[in-house]
Amino acid sequence: MIRKSKIYKYLAFTFIISSVFGISVYSFLSNRHQAIVKTKLLYTFGLVDNNWEIGKQNQKYKMLSPTFLIDEIYKSMEGPKSSRYIQLSPNEDLLWITGFEVKAVDAKTNESISNDFICHMNVDINDVNYYTNWDLKERIGKQYPRLTSLSNGFESYNYPEGYGVPIKGSDYLYITSQALNHNYPSILKKIKHEVTITHEKYNGTQKPLLSKTVFIQLPYNKNNPFEGPLSPGSNQCIPVETKNHSYMDKKGNMLSGHWVIPKGKNTYHSSISEQLDLQDSLRLHFSAIHVHPFATSIALYDKTMNQNIFKSAISNYKDKIGLIEIAPFSSKEGIWLYANHDYELVLEVDNTSNINQDMMGSMFLFFYDAELDKKIKQ
């Protein structure tokens, strides 16, 4: 029989070996994956609060995220994050989503703090259930079912008066919020994200909006994806990584939606006609925009007419990394986009830092949905 002392030695030895192996593997992970592991451990062992708090109010659905520990630099899409499903109502009443907001708060006091700690807040729908409810099954799977996104510099918005996104109260929305920290390398701070979804009951007058997601995709060398520098003006890119936000076009060329920008000014553009998939003319009323720091403008460009549909100005902080404001397109009257036109996104950047930075450029375009409007009124 093995003595207890030897069992304890074996257990201690196994623990030490496992710890050394775990630390070694952890050290080779990217910053993003280290944050995932770290957050999971903090939640599992109860070292920080890991519950979403729900506080419904009349016409506002409010929720408070679990605690995010900010303990180092977390660039865009690297920080701790958390997700959950929600229902705006326990019944099937038809509601109209009219706006979204996310803000950073101190985990202890719930007082508002700098939006420097907001990376993004995504809202996804279950497109199978959503379009089945409206007998629009042909729309299922046509695009990634993301309804909208808020991010640093674009932390809140409301649709034009009289417009919104219809949803049955009992339908599920999937909320993901992620923290950010570009500027404070020596920090140990616990924060939360407060998310608000504004809605109202349907009164027969509101008009429904259809969300279409478009984003810049740039070609890269699939054989040597991280080889640089690239020729200026080539509209090619070096991807941040090839596992995420990497796509293949119909010709087998590799494209990235998350790429590296060098120092200085550059312009990037790509076609979005295939992403828009316009079968008929649609009237655009709103744009929710997502870009990273050092972007200075983004435009929806009509290549057929050789003119901008709109161009959104983007302001950056001068004394730190971060976005102050991204101007959306918002119009009650709307502007028409046509099925026989070609469209692009055009992004201008100015990397004023001393190192390469990462970049994305995307829009959630909201069009009047005449087909859905007819079904709702029936």
pLDDT at 281 exceeding the cut of 60: yes
pTM above the 0.85 mark? yes
Q: How far apart are CA 5 and CA 78, in angstroms?
A: 44
The predicted pLDDT at position 199 comes to 97
Q: What is the pLDDT of residues 230-257, one digit of tens each?
A: 887 788 999 999 988 999 998 899 999 9
pLDDT at 40 exceeding the cut of 90: no
The strand order across the sheet containing 238-239 reads: 238-239, 259-261, 357-359
Q: What is the pLDDT of residues 51-86, one digit of tens each?
A: 899 887 788 999 999 999 999 999 999 999 999 999
Mean pLDDT of the 156-182 span: 97
Domain boundaries, the chain: 4-39, 48-205, 211-377
Per-residue confidence band for 5, with pLDDT thresholds at 50, 70 and 90: low
The predicted pLDDT at position 33 comes to 67
Mean pLDDT of the 83-95 span: 93
DSSP helix/strand/coil, 4: helix
Per-residue confidence band for 1, with pLDDT thresholds at 50, 70 and 90: low
Per-residue confidence band for 12, with pLDDT thresholds at 50, 70 and 90: low
pLDDT at 95 exceeding the cut of 90: yes
Per-residue confidence band for 27, with pLDDT thresholds at 50, 70 and 90: low
Q: Which CATH number fits domain 48-205: 2.40.50, 3.10.450, 2.60.40, 2.60.120?
A: 2.60.120
Instruction: Residue 69: count other Cβ atoms within 10 Å of its Cβ.
Output: 20
Residue 182's contacts (CB-CB under 8 Å, 6 or more residues apart) are 73, 74, 75, 116, 293, 320, 321, 322
Judge if 48-205 and 211-377 fold alike in CATH terms. Answer: yes
List b or e across 245-261, with b for residues whose CB sees 16 or more CB atoms inside 10 angstroms. bbeeeeeeebbbbbbbb
Q: What is the pLDDT of residues 109-119, one digit of tens each?
A: 999 999 999 99
DSSP string, 220-284: E-SSSTT--PPPTTS---EES-SSSSEEE-TTS-EEESSEEE-SEEEEEEEE-HHHH--SS-EEE
Mean pLDDT of the 157-171 span: 96
The predicted pLDDT at position 38 comes to 73
| Domain at 211-377: CATH code | 2.60.120
Per-residue confidence band for 219, with pLDDT thresholds at 50, 70 and 90: very high
pLDDT at 324 exceeding the cut of 90: yes
Which range (27-36, 65-74, 318-327) has the least confidence? 27-36
Per-residue confidence band for 48, with pLDDT thresholds at 50, 70 and 90: confident
The one-character DSSP state at 139 is: G
Judge contact between 35 and 78, C-beta under 8 A. yes
Mean pLDDT of the 327-331 span: 97
